[in-house]
Amino acid sequence: MSLVNYQTREITSKIVYYGPGRSGKTTNLHTIYSQVPDDRKGKMVSLATQTDRTLFFDFLPLDLGSISGFTTRFQLYTVPGQVYYHATRKLVLQGADGVVFVADSQARQLQENIESFQDLHQNLSEQGVEPRGIPLVLQYNKQDLPPDLILTTKELSDAINFRGVPEFPADALHGPGVFETLRGISELVLKRLSAGASR
Amino acid sequence: MIKASVEPWIEAPLQQFVDDAGVVLALLLHPSGQVMGQYGFTRAMDVMSACALAAAIHLSSSELGMQLEGKPFTGLHHAGKDRQVFIAETETRRGPYILLTVFDGESSLGLVRMFFDEFRVNLANAAPVPVPAPHPMLNENFERELNRNLAVLFGRA
């Protein structure tokens, strides 16, 4: 649910990074946080376990500046990827305007990716959101790993991207692909908002 | 005075609550974590963080209530050394909202709860019938502005 304040001409949208455990969702936010100037971001909030796995969510507010005269802000969330945090994922997904699905490119993680993607669709449906209607981009993370350990972008695309949504190879730990992914989802969210199709 | 509200009908009830209860901070938010109105914050980023955390606290305490008593907890109070936090849900014809408020020794839990009850009534009465919100008309080439802003943000400009 993007909020538009016409008095102050502000747009605020919620973007959720979704995906299986250890796929790199929190790393995406850390990389964004490390690259953005202090005056354009808020504190990064991480509700994590002692072993640094996301317990509830990570949260990063981001000021994108003025777009068409609207001060535009994005609230970036991650969900915990581990299967047993299903209830928490549903809560964080509530009211999302766009979703970045972060897939782990490692070949042995393919099944986890597929199950997490199905979990995303199920959770959206349960919240009355048409999964095919919500802005969604895919990120194939960990493409920096040795080629014998990972699947190619095409192989991952064939396995997961049956919707044909924008997809981005990435190495979130070092930065490549993180910016492009955020730009991709930003465009989709704002296009949908502008077209009046937002919930 | 109220510094910001997303929809004008929120301002009067929230302002009255702040004045009557004598609270330091007040934040009305949607359960998804989006701010609807606020008083007392100085940075928009702080508002967004507080909203995200308040929504999380509210949702998790609701779930906890469901598991313990079969019905959601709808309010929460935490007493700190100098300041206290009160979070509670209120219902309107526009849907449910969550109020997060912080108060110090100038007020008390009893006062906050009493005026929160009034606030719930005032907010419910002020809430207009939901109508489809107009969508912002972004320029045809807004992608260019978006790309430029993101490039600046990431030091790529």
Q: How distant is the Cα of A20 from the closest Cα of chain B, in angstroms? A: 21
**Binary contact (B142, A91; C-beta < 8 A):** no
Which of B43, B138, B154 lies closest to A179 in CB terms?
Answer: B154
Instruction: Say how far residue B102 (Cα) sits from the centre of its chain.
Output: 12
**Binary contact (A194, B53; C-beta < 8 A):** no
What residue ranges of chain B have pLDDT lower than 50? 1-2
Q: What angle do CA A171, A175, A176 make, to 5 degrees?
A: 60
**Percentage of chain B modeled with pLDDT above 90:** 52
The arithmetic mean of pLDDT across residues A1-24, rounded, is 86
Q: How distant is the Cα of A93 from the closest Cα of chain B, in angstroms? A: 8
Q: How distant is the Cα of A107 from the closest Cα of chain B, in angstroms? A: 31
- The full DSSP string for chain B is ---EESSGGGHHHHHHHHHHHT-SEEEEE-TTS-EEEEES---HHHHHHHHHHHHHHHHHHHHHHHHHHSS---EEEEE-SS-EEEEEEEEETTEEEEEEEEE-TTS-HHHHHHHHHHHHHHHHHHPPPP-PPPPP---TTHHHHHHHHHHHHTT--
Q: What contacts 24+ positions apart, CB below 8 Å, involve A6-11?
A: A6/B134, A6/B136, A7/B5, A7/B8, A8/A71, A8/B4, A9/A69, A9/A70, A9/A71, A10/A70, A10/A71, A10/A72, A10/A73, A11/A67, A11/A70, A11/A71, A11/A72, A11/A73, A11/A190, A11/A193, A11/B136
- Convert the pLDDT of each residue in A72-100 to its tens digit: 999 999 998 877 777 788 888 988 999 99
DSSP-derived secondary structure letter, A106? B
What confidence score (pLDDT) does residue B157 get? 67
Residue A3, pLDDT above cutoff 50: yes
The arithmetic mean of pLDDT across residues A99-126, rounded, is 96
Residues from chain A that touch B6, judged by Cβ atoms under 8 A, are 3-5
Residues 6+ apart with CB under 8 A from B26: B14, B17, B18, B37, B38, B39, B40, B99, B100, B101, B102
CA distance B145 to B157: 12
- Convert the pLDDT of each residue in B7-29 to its tens digit: 889 999 999 999 999 999 999 99
pLDDT band per the 50, 70, 90 thresholds, residue A149: very high
Q: How many residues belong to chain B?
A: 157
Q: Kindly state whether B67 is in contact with chain A, defined as any CB-CB distance less than 8 angstroms.
A: no
What confidence score (pLDDT) does residue A133 get? 92
**Binary contact (B48, A96; C-beta < 8 A):** no
Q: How distant is the Cα of B60 from the closest Cα of chain A, in angstroms? A: 8
- At the topology level, CATH places domain A3-193 in Rossmann fold (3.40.50)
Which of B45, B149, B152 lies closest to A61 in CB terms?
Answer: B45
> Domains along chain B?
4-131 (3.30.450.30)
**Helical pair A86-93 and A110-126, crossing angle rounded to 10 deg:** 50
Residue A197, pLDDT above cutoff 60: no
Helix (H, G, I), strand (E, B) or coil at A86: helix
Tell me what the pLDDT averaged over chain A comes to. 90
**Binary contact (A64, B150; C-beta < 8 A):** yes
Residues from chain B that touch A186, judged by Cβ atoms under 8 A, are 146, 150
Is-contact B56 A90, C-beta < 8 A? no
All structural domains of chain A with their residue ranges: 3-193
**Binary contact (A14, B135; C-beta < 8 A):** no
User: What is the sign of the dihedral through the CA atoms of A169, A175, A180 and A182?
Assistant: positive
Residue A199, pLDDT above cutoff 60: no
Q: Which two tokens stand for residue B124?
A: 């419910």
Question: Closest by alpha carbon to B94, among B59, B130, B62?
Answer: B130
Question: Closest by alpha carbon to A95, among A194, A12, A198, A14?
Answer: A14
